[in-house]
A and B are shown apart, each in its own frame.
Chain A
Amino acid sequence: MSCDELKEYYELYAIGVLELEERREIEEHLARDCALCQPGVRRARQLMASVALAAPEAEPPRRLRRRVLALVEPAAEKPSGVNWLTHAWATLAILMFVAVVWFISAGRSQDAQMAGLERRLTQVQNAHDDLAARNRLLGQALALVNLPDAAQLVFGSPDQQPPRGRVWVHAERGVLLLASRLPLAPTGKIYQMWIVPKKGAPIPAGLFNSDERGEAFHVWPRTVDVPAAAAVAVTLEPEGGVAAPTTTPLIAASF
């Protein structure tokens, strides 16, 4: 077939629904770098990709963003010696608790009691997971604060509106932010930290919330280009975070 005849089939080829005979013809032309078919098929691919927009809009569930981003989350750091020991003792405690639950439940067969114990076990496991995560964060924060070459920034002052606090920034260990008088984020919102470069758009640096007392603690354990950074800022954003800030900063700590 000539290129002129084949051009009718470029789009069907691009979306993989062309019959075998015509498909082979186009592939032959592409294999010899045909000056007409190569760009023709490229344009057809682009044209057919835009047909995707004809699909009715469907709202993806919020959890899907977390699922997608979890694909590339850095693996959790290996616990240090002290953390490992804490972890081991906590695990042992849970195992003993499981054993006690098992012995008790063996003697008593009431389903309701068993369900209650299982709930309690889940609570203990959750509390342990929370503690382990908090412990890891505290370890990272302590390491940052103690580094002599970490830059220390201050924001807020007695004559200004809250919040107030400090930020430590280290090129290799990341950023630690401690804030007070920062109210709990409203429902559906979250605080997002940004590294603000001297030139260009702010770089997202993680999500956090304040506690009931208005105190916030956030660690961003990633490398930071300190010489290129001008400030660390915090904005209030929709839950799940955003790629670029949508509100003005509540906190801005300059270098």
Chain B
Amino acid sequence: MLPLAATELAMILSMAWSAARADASGDPGLVEALRRRDPQALARLYDRFGGVVYSLIYRIVHDAGIAEDLVQETFLKVWNQAQLLDPARGSVAGWLLTVARNRAIDWLRSAAARPDRTAWESYDAERPANFVDVEEVYISADQARRVRQVMEKLNANQRLVIELAYFEGLTQAEMAEKIGQPLGTVKTWVRTALQHLRKELAGAS
């Protein structure tokens, strides 16, 4: 094989570095690489989503050490089941965030000795097939700002019930008991809050 001329090498490097920039933003081929069990794909997945997964878990468990363990469990689960995700139609971010939240809520429930979901229910909610034919969850600093702005537009009661459901895993009956409000009132707050989220966030990804 003849060595490349300096100009050819410069051109190839320039093209490769451009391709790298495109991959870093959209990362096509990441799911395929995960399915091939390419260890570098896990690094790419972590570099892209590690921050948001850690932030979500830390928000739920409020303990850095526990959060680290749960992040590790989350990525291990995704690594072990990635071959079940459809590279053309699946939302890897949606799946990853769901697995992360479930890990953290399960830990919270066991730490608080609250009745846990059965193993089957947890497993069922995390099936990669659940994240097929949905738009990818778009993760960026702008999108995070937008989601926070939408949450801030909720009134205090609506925001409280969404946070109790999402970050503490409480059912409406558990919320009613925790905040000392009638179940009917809590259901109204939840319903109006979800209507607002659907309107503001649906399709935003």
Contacts and interface: CB of A to CB of B under 8 A. Distances in A.
Contacts of A67: 68, 72
B170 A53 contact: no
B71 to A, nearest CB: 6
Contacts of A73: 39
B171 A54 contact: no
B147 A69 contact: no
B105 A16 contact: yes
A254 B3 contact: yes
Max count, chain B CB within 10 A of own CB: residue among A15, A50, A60, A203: A50
A196 B59 contact: no
Contacts of B40: 203-204, 243
Interface string B35-65: 0010110111011101110111011100010
A61 B19 CA distance: 29
Interface string A122-142: 000000000000000000000
B160 to A, nearest CB: 13
Contact of A231 (B12, B72, B198): B12
Interface string B94-127: 1001101110010000000000010001100100
A85 interface: no
Given A16-B105, A49-B94, A57-B55, A151 B42 contact: no
Interface string A147-177: 0000101000000000000000000000000
Interface string A31-42: 000000001001
Nearest to A11: B194
Contacts of A54: 144, 147-148, 151, 166
Contact of A243 (B24, B55, B98, B166): B24
In which size bucket is the chain B interface? 35 or more
Nearest to B15: A199
A151 B1 contact: yes
A196 to B, nearest CB: 5
A199 B12 CA distance: 8
Interface of A: 8, 11-12, 14-19, 39, 42-43, 45-61, 64-65, 67-69, 71-74, 151, 153, 196-204, 230-231, 233, 241-245, 248-249, 252, 254-255
30 contacts: A8-B194, A15-B165, A16-B169, A19-B173, A46-B131, A49-B94, A51-B151, A51-B162, A53-B143, A55-B52, A55-B55, A55-B58, A56-B59, A58-B54, A60-B51, A61-B68, A67-B68, A67-B72, A68-B42, A68-B50, A68-B71, A69-B46, A71-B42, A72-B37, A198-B12, A199-B19, A230-B9, A231-B12, A255-B1, A255-B4
Given A46-B134, A50-B201, A200-B16, 17 more contacts: A12-B172, A14-B125, A16-B105, A16-B117, A45-B98, A50-B205, A53-B148, A55-B56, A56-B59, A58-B67, A59-B51, A60-B51, A60-B54, A64-B54, A68-B50, A73-B39, A243-B40
Interface of B: 1, 3-4, 8-9, 12-13, 15-17, 19-24, 37, 39-40, 42-44, 46-48, 50-52, 54-56, 58-60, 64, 67-68, 71-72, 75-76, 79, 91, 93-94, 97-98, 100-102, 105, 117, 121-122, 125, 130-135, 137-139, 143-144, 147-148, 151, 162, 165-167, 169-173, 190-191, 194, 197-198, 201-202, 204-205
